Structure 1
Amino acid sequence: MTEDTRAIRVDQYLAHPPAKVWRAITEPELMARWLMPNDFRLEVGHRFTFTTEPRKAVGFDGIVSCEVLEFETEKLLRISWTDGTDADWTVTWRLEPEGRGTRLFLDHEGFDPDDPRQQLSRKIMGSGWRTSHFRAIERVAAEL
């Protein structure tokens, strides 16, 4: 099987019902605890930013400009994600009830397979999504 160089795809079981996971990924103050400070609002068309430490190796200035593209309460959230480089990505979270918990799927798509800087970004962000961010989402949901 070949690696998808255009996307990051992650799915993980979280031992919390969709309502709690949804809150963790859509309430701005909770989102800031596992991802980045933000001015997110759950409204299609709302433009918002995430802010964090710059990463000079990939030309990232620490600001992610986003827009809410689509949502379905407790099921789906899709946002655009642009980081000040030439990147134009889409991040989608899907929630599916599974037993007493939730299967959370993440698709971070739109990486240019021929751009070494975007591929480095994919590698860095892929590691973060798979490890620290999903664990942090679970910790936040556990506190609700």
Structure 2
Amino acid sequence: MEEIVTQQLLVHVPDEKKEVLASFIMGLFNLYEDLYFTYLEINPLVVTKDGVHVLDMAAKIDSAAEYICKPKWGDVEFPPPFGREDYPEEAYIADLDSKSGASLKLTVLNPSGCIWTMVAGGGASVVYRFCGARILV
């Protein structure tokens, strides 16, 4: 596989750096997959004949993979979805979840909306509620 990386991606890289860079790319790709990254940016990157030096990096991981990767990630605290604070109801359910062996989750998408998700058994169901006409004064 490193041969393919070297032949197809590293065409313009000096020969003395190709082997170390191809090895780095393969290792980085394997890490990316193994830890369920959704985004990874390295800029700048310094390559010498002896190694690769990452000077700055930004990365995101997929919170949906927490059940798979928690032992590898350690204690990662994810921000609230969509960059907002929890509603009091969500915080209450999260507190119950932390004290229970059951899996209890609640995300309020739109507090005055007409579509709700309802967890039933092993899958999610959707509940639609007729809202009727609203008059705004």
Q: Same fold (TM over 0.5)?
A: no
Which protein is richer in helix relative to its size? 2
TM-score, scaled to structure 2:
0.26
TM-score, scaled to structure 1:
0.25
Structure showing greater radius of gyration is 2
Q: Relative contact order (C-alpha < 8 Å, sep 6+): which is higher?
A: 1
Which protein is richer in strand relative to its size? 1
